[in-house]
Amino acid sequence: MSNSLFERLKHPNPHLRERAMWEIVESRNENTIPQLMGILEDENVTYRRASVKTLGAIGADAVPALAETLLNSDNSTIRASCAKALAQVAVNYPKDSFPLEGIEALKTALNDPNPVVHIASVMALGEIGPSVFDILVEALNTTDNIALAVAIVNTLGSLGDNRAIEVLTNLNNDSSTDTYIRQLAVSALSRLELVSNYQQANAQH
């Protein structure tokens, strides 16, 4: 596969970037994923983001490399990009069950010292959906990191999982919970109710 195709991932025109992305996905070989992983350390933000999107479009085959790099890279920008690419895999392939090693890596990355990485990991787990509900709740119940708790509460509010209602209600009723987190739990609850009402209304049509 020609390097010029990869170079087009940094093109200023988003439509050309998108076209290059799908060409790479369709004509990929054993070097494609390593080459895309290499772009994650590029200084060009457009290029990095396009690589994240392309890895996400490749799907499950990209997960092992993303999971390993998320856990082992000493560069926080690369780790965050891996979490974002894992989120893209979930977005692109919502009907496929998400590879376990990706879930395990994201679970570990919830404790990443860098806030950009652990928040990107929460968002990726949120995209994976209800199957990782317990991981998010366990992290919420055990963390003393307010930023992480905020991200998890917001994610639970948009997960569309009714089990979150009990978790958020308990959080709101617990006077030892941080005041800001309690307020967030209330707004997440109202979002959840909107989502479940919407789903019920749609189910009846």
pTM of the model: 0.90
Question: What is the band of 199 on the pLDDT scale with cuts at 50, 70, 90?
Answer: low
Q: Helical H runs in 73-162?
A: 76-92, 100-109, 115-128, 133-142, 146-158
Identify residue 186 by its one-letter amino acid code: V
What is the per-residue pLDDT for 193? 78
> Is the model's pLDDT at 18 over the cut of 70?
yes
pLDDT at res. 195: 65
Are 2 and 103 members of one domain? yes
- The CATH number of residue 24's host domain is 1.25.10.10
67 in Cβ contact with 104 (< 8 Å): yes
Residue-wise over 56-71: b if at least 16 C-beta within 10 A, else e? bbbbeebbebbbebbb
More confident residue, 159 or 68: 68
Residue 67 to residue 192: CA distance in whole angstroms:
30
- The residue segments making up the domain with residue 64 are 1-111
Question: Do 3 and 59 belong together in one domain?
Answer: yes
Percent composition of the chain: helix, strand, coil (DSSP 3-state, to 5): 80, 0, 20
118-144 pLDDT tens trace? 999 999 999 999 999 999 999 999 999
- Same domain? 55 vs 3: yes
pLDDT digits (tens, 9 = 90+) for 52-80: 999 999 999 999 999 999 999 999 999 99
Which residues have C-beta within 8 Å of that of residue 145, sequence separation ≥ 6?
A: 118
106 and 26 within one domain: yes
One domain, residues 149 and 197: yes
Q: Are residues 7 and 82 in the same domain?
A: yes
Residue 116 to residues 6, 81, 122, 136, 195, Cα–Cα distance (Å) = 26, 10, 10, 17, 27
Q: Is the pLDDT of residue 205 over 90?
A: no
